[in-house]
Amino acid sequence: MSKWIHRHDISDKVWSILSPLLPGQQGGWGAVAKDNRLFINAVFWILRTGSPWRDLPSSYGDWKNTHRRFSRWR
């Protein structure tokens, strides 16, 4: 089942490859991520558009939390 929100979001096929490689998995160290796919799509949206974090569409979640998480990952 596809969870695409926007037409440029990553496909189910790409997600099936990428998902196991990301932190925040059940049984892993640290907290379990709420929605890695939504986060990755949000970061890709920022990179693709060159927009400031404040312009992140609300469908990707709160821009402050997404930016904070991105800052921790980088």
Q: Which residues contact 51 (CB under 8 A, 6 or more apart)?
A: 45
- The tokens describing 38, both together, are 């939504």
Is 28 among the domain residues? no
Is 17 among the domain residues? no
How many distinct structural domains can be found in the chain?
1
Domain range spanning residue 50? Answer: 33-74
- Mean pLDDT calculated for residue range 15-37: 72
pTM score: 0.78
Name residue, tokens 């089942």: 1
Is 37 among the domain residues? yes
Report d(CA 20, CA 74) in Å as an integer: 18
Query: For the segment 30-51, what is each residue's pLDDT rounded down to a tens digit?
Result: 455 678 899 999 999 999 999 9
